[in-house]
Chain A
Amino acid sequence: MDNKIYLYDNNFIGLLNLISFLITNKIKPQNIKNLDYQPNLLDELINLNITIDKEIFKYIIKTSNKDILRILYYIYLSKYDNKELVIYYFYLNMLKYHANVIHMRNLKCVSLGLKLAHQVKDEVHKLKGFLRFQELSNKILYAKAYLNNDVLYLLSCHFKNRLPLEYWIIKDENRKMYSVYDKHNFYIVSEENFNLSTEKLSNNEKNMQDLWKEFYRTIGISERKNDKCRMNFMPKKYWKYIIEMEQDI
């Protein structure tokens, strides 16, 4: 049996370059993993150290279109264990069907890939709504969230457009990463390089949270009370970070 596991630099472009190389050389990998992979006893790790060629994005767009490139990127952000293999087969079918690959939902890799991409998009959309900032004493807005998929970058893009004149920080509690925005750009940094533990909330913060909680409580119509419906749209796993839900946990 073939136990070869091919390794790529921990980034999207590295993965695409590796996949393109494997396909060109007719190599069918057992699996593809990033450099953090913890191998099993029988795994044979292979690092080809492929040179990174930025033209690959253009090549994908030329072969299919921008949407397909975006879908591949979303799959890459997915928490799914074997997402790299899904991308490999999706890519392979893209070479065959070009932009039509998204219509080939009878192929497992396509339907699964589209599903993963959708989950990523959905998580970003939900968090655009459910993220809650708290104002710190130094006026920085700070939000924590547990991100299932790796969507910190996409979320940051949204808030960069929305709150360009504020300092803000978003923390991914799952990966222990921070996105820090300085009114020009945001930077994604790891916990070791960042410390917020001494920061207090601003004087006004509790007041505002209180106002919001009262508004939240008031706006529901008791004659229409519907926990099931609420739970459907705002699943409990998000409640921990939604301040108006704290009292209900």
Chain B
Amino acid sequence: MQLKEKLIILADSAKYDASCSSSGSMRKNNKGIGNAAFSGICHSFASDGRCISLLKILMTNCCIYDCKYCLNRKSNNIKRATFTPEEICAITINFYKRNYIEGLFLSSGIIKNANYTMELLIKTISLLRNKYHFNGYIHAKAILGADQMLVKKLGLLVDRLSANIELPTSDSLKLLAPNKNQNQVNDIMQYVHDHKDEKFVPSGQSTQMIIGATAESDLQIMQQSEKMYHNYSLKRVFYSAYIPINNDKLLPALKLPPLKREHRLYQADWLLRFYNFKVSDLLDLENPNFNILIDPKANWALKHLELFPKEINTASYHELLQIPGIGEKSAKRIISSRKHFKITFKDLKLMGVVLKRAKYFIICDGKYFANTNLFNKRFIESNLILEDKSPNTHNYQQLSLFNG
């Protein structure tokens, strides 16, 4: 088989993994080729708007397992291909030299058994690091069920190591991926968490969950994320709207991937990681799913209008972060500027704070942006719905730029 055909097959089977982040590593050039950029670099954007940072491929799409949602499952009759370690190195180096990529994202179907597959991954990546002296970014997928010793070996070669949780609950996983179990995922995450340092998985671990293939609510999904962030200090949880690839009676018959829902989950995830929100602030058993019309923060604020409007000149940093439309950067600017002058609406504009949504929830030096009797739920809610950004123009995967 020609190299080109292999590349097409093995990129096609890898494309469903959402992660392409290349940030968080400070790997230096060491008499070879490449280095890592701490903030991560996007080299291109695919037709679906997702960042291309890494050469994202499988080593092989042959697999002994039969996960229902997966293109590569054993029972699918598709073309199979396997890269040799040398082939992977040659493509990586040639693409890297031409500045197409930041590095490699290598994953694999399972051949023979977990350990055998893991050893092949290690062989490939160690060739790349030691023979080709490649110091660019490498993200590898750990193979579930492989020995700890192999996880250790692989972790010492890569920048990021990850294990996919795949589905929000262990019951779903059992149902759709009968050869896997959630404990295997947890074991890897625990090991990486306990051993992470500047030599071992320096840029940390991430994971991915498929959304909409099973019946879990947003609440269950977010609780799983919250637990993983808390227990294993994950850098990211990626949410991947389920795309119906296989026909199976266990899978829902969706026509389109639930992209809007995925978008809301990313927004909420953001609130957990950077804005001090807890899942219980955003969802509960009575409202277990996000409002599709309004983003989670604005939805929260509308339920707590008694806390608003907030005075920009006196609100604490934490309170500023609660204001819809105000992010970390704006909140920091406000805090450092107001020590030197009293902030007015005009100043906010000069400071680059976007007021489109924030204006409903703030006062500046005692003033509201409009007549104060407009500060009521109906008026604000209808305006926010009109202004809600569709996932068309926003890409939450992309916002990982500085946050790994």
Interface positions of A (Cβ within 8 A of B): 97, 100, 103-106, 108, 111, 115, 125, 128-135, 141, 143, 159, 161-166, 204, 208, 210-212, 214-230, 232-234, 242, 244-245
**Contact status B3-A161, CB under 8 Å:** no
Q: Give complex CA distance A115, B333 in Å.
A: 14
- A115 contact set on B, CB distance < 8 A: 352
Decide if B291 is an interface residue (CB 8 Å cutoff). no
List 10 interface pairs A-B (beta carbons < 8 Å), by A numbering.
Answer: A132-B99, A135-B98, A219-B52, A220-B46, A221-B48, A223-B243, A224-B50, A228-B49, A230-B49, A245-B44
Q: In chain B, residues 38-73, which have Cβ atoms closer than 8 Å to a Cβ of chain A? A: 39, 41-53, 55-56
Stretch from B5-13, B161-169, B185-193, B372-380 that touches the partner: B5-13
Q: Shortest CB–CB separation between residue B212 and chain A, in angstroms?
A: 12
Given contacts A106-B337, A164-B29, contact A131 B99 (CB under 8 A): yes
- For A223, give its contact among B55, B97, B256, B394 (CB under 8 Å): B256
Cβ contact of A232, chosen from B32, B48, B343, B393, cutoff 8 A: B393
* Contact surface of B with A, Cβ cutoff 8 Å: 3-4, 7-8, 11-12, 14-16, 29, 31-35, 37, 39, 41-53, 55-56, 91, 94-95, 97-100, 241, 243, 256-257, 259, 333, 336-337, 339-341, 343, 347, 350-352, 391-395, 398
Pick from B15, B29, B42: contact of A129, CB below 8 A: B42
* Distance (whole angstroms) from the CB of B26 to the closest CB of chain A: 12
Assess whether A218 is in contact with B350, with CB atoms less than 8 Å apart: no
B392 CB to closest chain A CB (Å) equals 5
B340 close to A100 (CB less than 8 A): yes
| Given contact pairs A111-B351, A218-B11, A218-B15, A212 touches B95 in the complex (Cβ within 8 A) | yes
Complex contacts, A211 vs chain B, CB 8 Å: 3-4, 7, 91, 94-95
Contact B29 A166 (CB under 8 A): no
- Please give, as numbers and ranges, the residues of chain A lying within 8 Å of B46 by CB-CB distance: 216, 219-221, 230
Given contacts A161-B35, A208-B95, contact A234 B352 (CB under 8 A): no
Question: How far, in Å, is A224 (CB) from chain B's closest CB?
Answer: 4
In the docked arrangement, what's the CA distance between A167 and B43, Å?
21
A212 CA / B34 CA spacing, docked (Å)? 19
Does the CB pair A233–B100 fall under 8 Å?
no
- Supposing A133-B98, A133-B99, A163-B97 touch, asked if A230 and B47 sit within 8 A by C-beta, the answer is yes
Residues of B within 8 A of A162 (CB): 29, 33-35
CA A128 – CA B91 in complex, angstroms?
20
Q: Which residue, of B32, B45, B53, has the highest number of chain A Cβ atoms within 10 A?
A: B45
Bound complex: CA of A133 vs CA of B101, how far in Å? 11
| Contact A108-B350, Cβ < 8 Å, known A162-B29, A215-B7 | yes
Known: A106-B341, A211-B94. 12 other contacts (CB 8 A): A103-B340, A106-B347, A129-B43, A214-B4, A218-B11, A219-B11, A219-B56, A220-B46, A220-B50, A222-B48, A228-B49, A229-B393
Interface contact A130-B44, CB-CB below 8 Å:
yes
Q: A216: which B residues are within 8 A, CB to CB?
A: 44, 46, 52
